[in-house]
Amino acid sequence: MMKFGGNEVKVAIIAAMPEEVAPFRKFFTQGKQVWQKGKTVIEQLNKDIYLVESGIGKVNAAASAAWLCEQITPDLIINTGTTGTFHANAELGEILLSDRFVYSDVDATGFAYQYGQVPQMPADYPIDHVLLQEVEQLFSTYGITYHLGTIVTADSFMSDGATIGTIRKNFPDLIGSDMESCAIAQVASFYNIPILNVRAISDKVGDEAPQMFDDSVDDVSTQAFQAVQVLLNHLSKDFV
């Protein structure tokens, strides 16, 4: 079994789109499908690693995570793929590493909840500090350019100026946005399963974001895979 922090672990990698899981399928040529429902496909890549193509958006992500946690019960979930960035100094292909998970399209502030907080749920889902430090050290050791900060989750692609402005106002420290990660983190929290979010920048938020995404998604998905590969190498010397 793999080792992480001295413990044996089983790892599940979740990405939303075929382009984002393609580099994993190319590398793990002996992977086999173990479950499929709707947009969700779960494959066993080897005895310790599972790959989940969840489908896009919070509902697909949450449904995929629930089945995964019930049937596979991984010890660690790595959410990966592409992300739009709010970070002015970040470049396409660089890695965004989440320090917490939070929704950017939930508003129950009228009931004294924080913006982004689902009623009766936590305000956010922080990543274990020790785990995060270990990942940062690995990325620094292997020369991976990364940016650490908050990646918010919404059922919106960040091309609309008004939406972007609202999110910037409510989350001034954010560095990126995706459409799945907080939903996965919320489900994982029910099972006390730690989760990382390691994504590569495919676009910069704004009206040019859709074209930037279309032009970069394949290359950027490979860069996200390479960052996750560093983590998997650390987990198991048998990975390569």
Residue 186 near residue 121 (C-beta atoms within 8 A): yes
CA atoms within a 13 Å half-sphere pointing along the CA-CB vector of 138? 21
Rounded to 10 deg, the angle between the 209-235 and 129-141 helix axes is: 100
31 and 43 Cβ atoms separated by less than 8 Å: yes
Q: What helix, strand, coil percent values describe the chain, rounded to 5?
A: 35, 30, 35
CA 14 remoteness from chain centre = 7
The single residue of 107, 203, 215, 219 carrying the catalytic annotation is 203
Q: Is 207 a catalytic residue?
A: no
In the residue annotation, 203 being an active-site residue is answered as yes
CA gap 185, 236 in Å, rounded: 24
Residue 63: count other Cβ atoms within 10 Å of its Cβ. Answer: 18
DSSP element (H, E) containing 14: strand 11-15
Q: Enter the tokens of residue 98.
A: 């989440």
Q: Phi first, then psi: give them for residue 37, nearest 5 degrees.
A: -155, 125
**Residue among 8, 20, 91, 128 flagged as catalytic:** 20
User: CA-to-CA distance for 206 and 33, rounded, in angstroms?
Assistant: 37
CA distance 75 to 72: 9
Query: Cα(160)–Cα(7) distance, rounded to whole angstroms?
Result: 44
Residues marked as catalytic = 20, 203
